[in-house]
Amino acid sequence: MNKSLEDTFGNIDIYLFDQLLKGRFDQCKNVLDVGCGGGRNLIYFLRNGLEVFGIDQNEENIEAVKKLSQRFSQSNALNNFVVAKAEEIPFRDDVFDLVICNAVVHFAKDKDHFDAMLKSIWRVLKPNGFLFIRLASSIGIEDLVKPIGNGRYLLPDGSQRFLVDEKVLLDYTKELKGELFEPIKTTNVQSLRCMTTWCLRKKV
């Protein structure tokens, strides 16, 4: 392993890394990670002087991400990291240049919950801001997933998730008045589950 690459990016999601390589977020001054976990996707941003924020419903994760923040950027305020729900983000409207939400919204308990998370995320995004979401989908494994009610499915890997398809994502893109800054891309993990990357920009 090239140590300097690991130092710079940490264990970043590969599709987020792809967007960084494309320079998509070069002008962003702040970033919010919704459902940030331990903050693996925030190391690059902390190291590069963005103002970094994170929320997660799990208190231990917020404590962990605060430690990570201290390690990589002494100037980043620790009260930027808050125990909170994605559906009730405790920040003002239109404040973030970039919002990341990686492997979170597919834990929605039903369509209303999914909708509430998306609308809450969209609310805090600035006009022209970027939204990077990765979520489980049925794209490519439609015949292998079993509906269990409320928009949730049993996947071949044994997990249960709220699943979207391409039409749902495109309908939301239109309803939110967003535009795709990358085509919708899906990784099929040996027909056990599919993870889709949905990249939206908020039109002015």
Ligand X SMILES: C[S@@+](CC[C@H](N)C(=O)[O-])C[C@H]1O[C@@H](n2cnc3c(N)ncnc32)[C@H](O)[C@@H]1O
SS3 state of residue 200 = strand
Residue with tokens 């920040």: 91
Residue nearest to ligand X (CB): 37
- Whichever of 135 and 141 has its CB closer to ligand X, that residue is 135
Stretch that binds ligand X, among 20-28, 45-53, 99-107, 152-160 (CB under 6 A): 99-107
| DSSP code, position 57 | S
Could you tell me how far CA 33 lies from the centroid of its own chain?
7
Q: Tell which positions 125-164 bind ligand X, by CB under 6 A.
A: none
- 41 forms part of the interface with ligand X (CB under 6 A): yes
- Whichever of 89 and 139 has its CB closer to ligand X, that residue is 89
Please count the residues of this chain forming the interface with ligand X, following the rule CB under 6 A: 17
Q: From CA 125, how far away is CA 95, in angstroms rounded?
A: 6
One residue of 45, 56, 62, 199 binding ligand X per CB under 6 A? 56
Q: What does the DSSP assignment read for 105-155?
A: GGG-SSHHHHHHHHHHHHHHEEEEEEEEEEEEE-TT-TTT-EEEETTEEE-
SS3 state of residue 195 = strand
- Whichever of 41 and 73 has its CB closer to ligand X, that residue is 41
- 36 forms part of the interface with ligand X (CB under 6 A): yes
Stated as kind and residue range, the H or E segment containing 70 is helix 59-72
One residue of 86, 131, 163, 195 binding ligand X per CB under 6 A? 86
- x-marked contacts with ligand X along 13-32 as a string, rule CB under 6 A: x-------------------
Shortest distance, CB of residue 184 to ligand X, whole angstroms? 19
Is residue 144 within 8 A of residue 191, CB to CB? The reply is yes
Binding site for ligand X (CB under 6 A): 13, 35-37, 40-41, 56-58, 61, 85-87, 102-104, 107
